[in-house]
A = this chain, B = another copy of it.
């Protein structure tokens, strides 16, 4: 078993939080002065500000700008303990977790494991596509884009060169729209200077969306305007179309059309990341736990679920809240308020979602925002004002002062210089030529070198 005997709060009830995303981190903070032992378990030793992952993927920000180690954030909180581990299963009867570092018991278990990329069972897609769900994903995508261009310089054959310059993004939600916008900004302002021998008129960015609109769930104005912005940027948006298959080179769409690319970015869906061991009936479709209005997993009294992994069905949200930061944060806060009530035998207070609306950014001065004003009125805006609001809200929402300062500096720099962040290839990249095409690309490099 995990040796937690050194913990100083023995005798106090132990709240084990699995996952340090928005929900888990917020709950841990809220429990600061509550007489419990807070044990946060995460695979990583850092919190990652997911809304800006796409900026890491597109060389707008460095990974270090949007991550913050848990020990740094909460190191001074006396009742806080962190363990870097993977949770393998839960034994709810024994109040015990099986983890990669041994057994850990709990009095209250809070599952805040978030979601993972959903390939809908398509293994070929999973092997060949790149997702943007973790810091490692984002770094891999950035490195792959840059490695593609280095490789493209060797290609004698036009189609093969194009396969390295072209990008297909699947999924017209905020991530897909934001990545498409960021890549087209790089194409316009940055890549032509870095790679003067390549012709960036040849670089196509396709955005494939299964439905009839982008940013489904936002207002018609937001959907329409984001489409206009992307088209102004030269992104080829394909609506009402799904990707049927991708072998690492050829993308086949449901319309029968094919596209050639070495880099398909998969932003088409997420699914909950549950922990084995709880009642199967508690798990709804989409792999989310069915929770009551106190975030309690159905059938349990001391097991809670928050954020993406929780589906709290309400009249307004019959399939649970949107899998974004705000519900997670608010649920974390609410549970932090309820746990002391639980300890004191007071009745729990139900969760009420304060919907603040949604935003997405396409690029410089171009964003869309559907806001809910206090009182419930809608306020919709697109363009510069929306972009300023988006920028402001993302900077102030970052976890540490250091992150906020770094992001603000980087963005200010980029805004005035039209440049982006560091483009060094450090760490993993997908080998762009991992899928062998006939005739082998290596044989295409045949031009004699001539001075």
Q: Which residues of A contact B (CB under 8 A)?
A: 1-7, 10-14, 37, 44-46, 62-64, 67-69, 71-72, 75-76, 81, 83-84, 101-105, 107, 135-136, 139, 146-147, 150, 153-156, 193-197, 402, 409, 413, 421-428, 445-451
Asked if B193 and A451 sit within 8 Å, CB to CB, the answer is no
> What would 21 A/B residue contacts be, using CB atoms closer than 8 Å?
A1-B445, A1-B446, A1-B447, A1-B449, A2-B154, A3-B153, A3-B156, A3-B446, A44-B425, A45-B425, A46-B425, A64-B424, A67-B424, A67-B426, A71-B193, A71-B194, A71-B195, A71-B423, A101-B445, A135-B426, A139-B427
A425 to B450, CA, bound (A): 47
Q: Shortest distance in angstroms between A338's beta carbon and chain B's nearest beta carbon?
A: 20
Asked if A104 and B449 sit within 8 Å, CB to CB, the answer is yes
Asked if B103 and A5 sit within 8 Å, CB to CB, the answer is no
A107 to B450, CA, bound (A): 11
Q: Which residues of B contact A421 (CB under 8 A)?
A: 64
A100 to B421, CA, bound (A): 28
Copies of the protein in its oligomer: 2
Q: Which residues of B contact A105 (CB under 8 A)?
A: 449, 451
Selected from B64, B101, B451, the residue in CB contact (under 8 A) with A12 is: B451
A11 to B451, CA, bound (A): 5
Asked if B10 and A451 sit within 8 Å, CB to CB, the answer is yes
Asked if A5 and B450 sit within 8 Å, CB to CB, the answer is yes
Q: Shortest distance in angstroms between A80's beta carbon and chain B's nearest beta carbon?
A: 9
Q: Which residue of B lies closest to A46 (CB)?
A: B424
A256 to B423, CA, bound (A): 48
Q: Which residues of B contact A135 (CB under 8 A)?
A: 424, 426
A108 to B446, CA, bound (A): 23
Q: Shortest distance in angstroms between A18's beta carbon and chain B's nearest beta carbon?
A: 16
A69 to B142, CA, bound (A): 14
Q: A46-B424, A62-B62, A426-B136 are in contact. Are A102 and B154 (CB under 8 A)?
A: yes
Selected from B3, B14, B197, B422, the residue in CB contact (under 8 A) with A445 is: B3
Q: Which residues of B contact A147 (CB under 8 A)?
A: 84
Q: A10-B450, A83-B153 are in contact. Are A146 and B102 (CB under 8 A)?
A: no
Q: Which residue of B lies closest to A136 (CB)?
A: B426
Q: Which residue of B lies closest to A154 (CB)?
A: B101
Q: Which residue of B lies closest to A7 (CB)?
A: B197
Q: A423-B72, A426-B136 are in contact. Are A451 and B37 (CB under 8 A)?
A: yes
Asked if A44 and B445 sit within 8 Å, CB to CB, the answer is no
Q: Shortest distance in angstroms between A378's beta carbon and chain B's nearest beta carbon?
A: 38
Q: A5-B447, A450-B5 are in contact. Are A75 and B44 (CB under 8 A)?
A: no
A163 to B76, CA, bound (A): 26
Selected from B13, B197, B424, B449, the residue in CB contact (under 8 A) with A45 is: B424
Asked if A194 and B422 sit within 8 Å, CB to CB, the answer is no
Q: A402-B413, A422-B69 are in contact. Are A447 and B3 (CB under 8 A)?
A: yes
Q: Which residues of B contact A62 (CB under 8 A)?
A: 62, 64
A206 to B236, CA, bound (A): 59
Q: Which residues of B contact A69 (CB under 8 A)?
A: 194, 422-424
Asked if B3 and A451 sit within 8 Å, CB to CB, the answer is no
Q: Which residues of B contact A194 (CB under 8 A)?
A: 69, 71-72, 75
Most central of A45, A69, A421 by chain B CB within 10 Å:
A45
Q: Shortest distance in angstroms between A418's beta carbon and chain B's nearest beta carbon?
A: 13
Q: Which residues of B contact A83 (CB under 8 A)?
A: 150, 153
Q: A1-B446, A3-B156 are in contact. Are A139 and B196 (CB under 8 A)?
A: no
Most central of A4, A136, A446 by chain B CB within 10 Å:
A4
Selected from B3, B402, B427, the residue in CB contact (under 8 A) with A154 is: B3
Q: Which residues of B contact A104 (CB under 8 A)?
A: 449
Asked if B2 and A103 sit within 8 Å, CB to CB, the answer is no
- 9 closest cross-chain pairs (CB), A and B: A46-B424, A71-B194, A3-B447, A64-B422, A84-B150, A67-B424, A69-B423, A5-B447, A62-B64
Asked if A68 and B424 sit within 8 Å, CB to CB, the answer is yes
Q: Shortest distance in angstroms between A329's beta carbon and chain B's nearest beta carbon?
A: 21
Asked if B445 and A2 sit within 8 Å, CB to CB, the answer is yes
